[in-house]
């Protein structure tokens, strides 16, 4: 815990933190407007050790094409897992953001056992206001560090700058080079599934970000899937166990899909066609400037839709938020008289629903 105000902060109480080996810092910085509780972002961050600059970041400008690398600037795990905004004061090896200084250490500090280091963290806002956080960091001995809780280094080592893969009888996973921001040990385990097609795969940790999508192939049960292979898809489960579609293609007993992150995956089947409801379509549409059709799908998601009025194609726009297909009457569809509407909606697994209706306009 920190104490302080007006730009000067210290560690509460008589506490000297300790660390072992080569370490880096992450800091949570909140900047507020004067006379307002609203927050705004910082523009600069610096770290020095015993008066020597070891890290700096200038946040005035960020290349839009590189913005996904923000996952490497922040502590992604704390952000996603605890809704905490921590800035890494060290550069991960596969972070191509062009905002870092030319310090050789790039924020990494190698601590000698028993030695005390004077650390200074500085944060600067858009108006040049500066906050400082000085503290002492003590290098621990190997005996002291051995008493601290440790996380097991289980799993297969993936190096960030090479292609990596896992091959098991149940699944295959391939990550292209530069998908990770740093080397990572990738763990996995299989568990039971409510569906008969494949077990549930817990692939590493969802709090580890991916910069480039990987390819995941899951082996499916030949008996359970026989005759329905084209309806199978990879799904990802959230914290409550609810599935969301990933998709994929069935080939020779495997369903293969691109995945944008780690997490819990399995294979499900979608044989149910989309639900299409003409909630806004009434027999007399005179004076109306549009018509709306509600479309929902139970799993794989809406893929294609084709609308025709009196046999001629008409434009429908999909409102993803409201799950509605909307047609605005134009010179091709606003003629007076009776009209026949046909709307064909398909989901991502090829299940199709056709709506036919007549109305007067």
- The burial class, CB within 10 Å (0-12 / 13-18 / 19+), for 315 is exposed
How confident is residue 332, by pLDDT bands cut at 50, 70 and 90?
confident
| Contact call for residues 40 and 59 (beta carbons, < 8 A) | no
Has residue 75 got a pLDDT over 80? yes
Given this model, what pLDDT does residue 69 score? Answer: 97
Query: What are the tokens at 186?
Result: 């990738």
Query: From CA 285, how far away is CA 126, in angstroms rounded?
Result: 56
Given this model, what pLDDT does residue 37 score? Answer: 74
Q: What is the mean pLDDT of the chain?
A: 94
SS3 308: strand
Which one-letter DSSP state was computed for residue 284?
Answer: B
Given this model, what pLDDT does residue 31 score? Answer: 85
User: How many alpha carbons lie under 13 Å from residue 335 in its C-beta half-sphere?
Assistant: 9
Across the strands, what pairs with 356? 342
Query: From CA 188, how far away is CA 201, in angstroms rounded?
Result: 7
Taken in order of first residue, the domains within the chain and their CATH numbers are 2-145 (2.60.40), 156-269 (2.60.220.30), 275-360 (2.60.40.10)
Query: What are the tokens at 322?
Result: 């409201």
pLDDT digits (tens, 9 = 90+) for 91-142: 999 999 999 999 999 999 999 999 999 999 999 998 899 999 999 999 999 9
pLDDT digits (tens, 9 = 90+) for 148-201: 988 777 899 999 999 999 999 999 999 999 999 999 999 999 999 989 999 999
Q: By mean pLDDT, which of 86-90, 183-187, 284-288 is the weakest? A: 284-288
**pLDDT more than 90, % of the chain:** 83
Given this model, what pLDDT does residue 41 score? Answer: 82
């Amino acid at each position: 815990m920190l104490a302080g105000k007006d730009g000067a902060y210290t560690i509460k109480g008589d506490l000297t933190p300790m660390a072992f080996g080569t370490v880096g810092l992450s800091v949570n910085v909140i900047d507020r407007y004067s006379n307002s509780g609203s927050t705004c972002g910082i523009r600069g961050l610096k770290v020095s050790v015993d008066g020597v600059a070891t890290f700096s970041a200038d946040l005035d400008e960020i290349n839009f094409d590189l913005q996904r690398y923000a996952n490497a600037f922040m502590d992604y795990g704390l952000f996603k897992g605890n809704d905490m905004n921590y800035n890494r004061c060290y550069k991960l090896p596969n972070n191509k953001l062009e905002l870092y200084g030319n310090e050789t250490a790039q924020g990494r500090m190698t601590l000698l056992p028993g030695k005390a280091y004077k650390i200074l963290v500085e944060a600067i806002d858009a108006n040049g206001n500066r906050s400082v956080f000085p503290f002492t960091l003590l290098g621990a001995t190997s005996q002291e560090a051995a008493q601290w809780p440790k996380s097991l280094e289980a799993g297969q080592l993936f190096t960030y700058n090479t292609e990596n893969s896992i091959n098991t009888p149940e699944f295959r996973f391939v990550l292209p080079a530069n998908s990770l921001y740093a080397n990572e040990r990738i763990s996995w385990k299989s568990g039971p599934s409510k569906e008969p097609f494949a077990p549930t795969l817990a692939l590493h940790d969802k709090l580890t970000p991916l910069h480039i999508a990987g390819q995941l192939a899951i082996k499916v049960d030949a008996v359970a899937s026989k005759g329905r292979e084209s309806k199978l898809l990879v799904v990802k489960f959230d914290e409550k166990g609810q599935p969301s579609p990933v998709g994929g293609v069935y080939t020779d007993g495997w369903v293969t899909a691109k995945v944008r992150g780690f997490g819990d995956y399995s294979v499900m089947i979608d044989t149910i066609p989309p639900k299409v409801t003409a909630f806004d379509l009434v027999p007399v549409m005179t004076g109306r400037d549009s018509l709306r059709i509600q479309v929902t799908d139970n799993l794989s998601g809406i893929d294609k839709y084709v609308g025709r009025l009196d046999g001629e194609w008409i434009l429908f726009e999909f409102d993803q938020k409201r799950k509605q297909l909307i047609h605005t009457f134009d010179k091709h569809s606003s003629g007076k008289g009776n009209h026949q509407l046909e709307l064909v909606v398909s989901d991502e697994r090829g299940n199709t629903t056709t709506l036919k209706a007549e109305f007067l306009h």
